[in-house]
Amino acid sequence: MPEPLTVGVVFAGSLALLLVRPRRVPDWAAALGGGLLMILVGVWTLDQALRQLAESSDVFLFFVGLGVASATADRAGLFDAAAHLAAATARGSQRRLLGGLFAVSTVVTAVLSNDATALLLTPVAFAAASRLGLNPRPYVFTCAMVANAASFLLPVSNPANLLILARVPLGLTAFTARLIAPSLVALGATLVGLLWVFRNDLGAPYEDVPSSGPALTSRSRASLVGVVGLGAVYVLAAAIGWPLGRVAVTGAVVLVVLDALVAGWEPLRVVRDVPWSLLGLVAGLLLLVGGAEQASLFAPLVGAIDATSAVGYAGLPALVAGMALMANLINNLPSAMVAASALSTLPATVERGNLVAATIIGVNLGPNLTTIGSLATMLWLVLLRRRGLQVSALDYVRVGGLVTVPALALAAVVLWVIGGLLSHGQ
């Protein structure tokens, strides 16, 4: 094993490239390059690295499946139809348009996951704004912010939740008792923050559009049936514990077949439209974080969680803040993996419910502060670049900070109150 300093330099340098995002260094290259350096400096053997990635195969399948499904629905015109309906429903008010998108994004995130919101609704938001001649930034930022803010409404709302709960189980009743109120408060604060940050963009009305619009084509109808079916099966699979990646890929294949039966087979377009670079990004992050964990770079986190458990519910806001900081430094999924490992090592006598809740808030809501905080945000950036819209890391921090810091503080305070009530009731 190389010196921790060497591992730390590789780890910090790769994350710095991801955050700064130089024009000639794509996100996937910065992450995957760092992962390969972990092999070169001796943290991993090639065989160990391949096994590490193979253990996360379901994550890769999940993103491939959602990517194929999103691209197929986009080509079928489903997003354009949804954009027209959203614009007509808002009746000329940009604030109502943003509020409607916020509500839909919340539902999609809750039942499908934050990554599904980024993949499925970002194109809808961009298409709706472009069709109306509006600045798309308020609407695409809404997709990004809600994808993380709504991702602790249910255990299935974020893959990070499943990673944590797999190591430290928390029943649905206990999960809801601790997290539904912080989640609703965070969502309310996020909506208010978005309306305030983009108040100048949202002030002007737009020309109302007829509610009827063009009829759905047979192709878009088939796509709608496929997407609804995929959503239903996905929720069922999450409830009974099926591997979500395999479900996503199977559903995407069904969607592609339905589209091919109606409009013809277009394999090259399917392959071209999938955001393959995200897989390199995920692979690099897994190797980077796994290497840093092997070098004991995260030992302070284990100590912090242990210290919080000794303090009791009074330490919950500090744990929320600490996990939010960590998620923005190394991404939320790896943070969830490290935190789950730390939580599982606590003595059996320690009550873990409040600690799990604080960790989930931090790794779900916290990533709204930076572009590398969550994979949903990174995927969101890929989709925007494909549509010619550039969002710099500084732009994202400016919006994310103004919207998320108050939401995170309020969620932490609410959890602190709930944690105190539950502790006194035991």
Q: Quote the CA–CA distance of 383 and 375 in Å, as a whole number.
A: 12
Q: Is residue 367 part of a domain?
A: yes
Q: Is residue 312 part of a domain?
A: yes
Q: Is residue 326 part of a domain?
A: yes
Q: Is residue 286 part of a domain?
A: yes
Q: Is residue 231 part of a domain?
A: no
Question: What's residue 424's pLDDT?
Answer: 63
Residue 3 CB contacts under 8 Å (≥ 6 apart), including other chains: none
Count the neighbouring beta carbons within 10 Å of the beta carbon of residue 417.
13
Number of domains forming the structure of the chain: 1
Q: Is residue 170 part of a domain?
A: yes
**Please, is 84 exposed, middle or buried when counting C-beta atoms within 10 Å of its C-beta (0-12, 13-18, 19+)?**
buried
Q: Quote the CA–CA distance of 111 and 179 in Å, as a whole number.
A: 16
Q: Is residue 253 part of a domain?
A: no
Q: Is residue 238 part of a domain?
A: no
Full residue range of the structural domain in which residue 404 is found: 4-55+78-216+275-425
Residue 151 CB contacts under 8 Å (≥ 6 apart), including other chains: 109, 113, 114, 157, 158, 160, 161, 364, 365, 376
Question: How far is Cα of residue 34 from the mean position of the Cα atoms in its chain?
Answer: 22
Question: What's residue 215's pLDDT?
Answer: 54
> To 10 degrees, what angle do helices 46-54 and 277-294 make?
120
Which regions in the chain score pLDDT beneath 70? 1, 19, 21, 23, 208-216, 238-239, 241, 302, 309, 423-426
CA-closest candidate to residue 236, choices 223, 248, 252, 222: 248
Question: What's residue 144's pLDDT?
Answer: 96
Question: What's residue 357's pLDDT?
Answer: 94
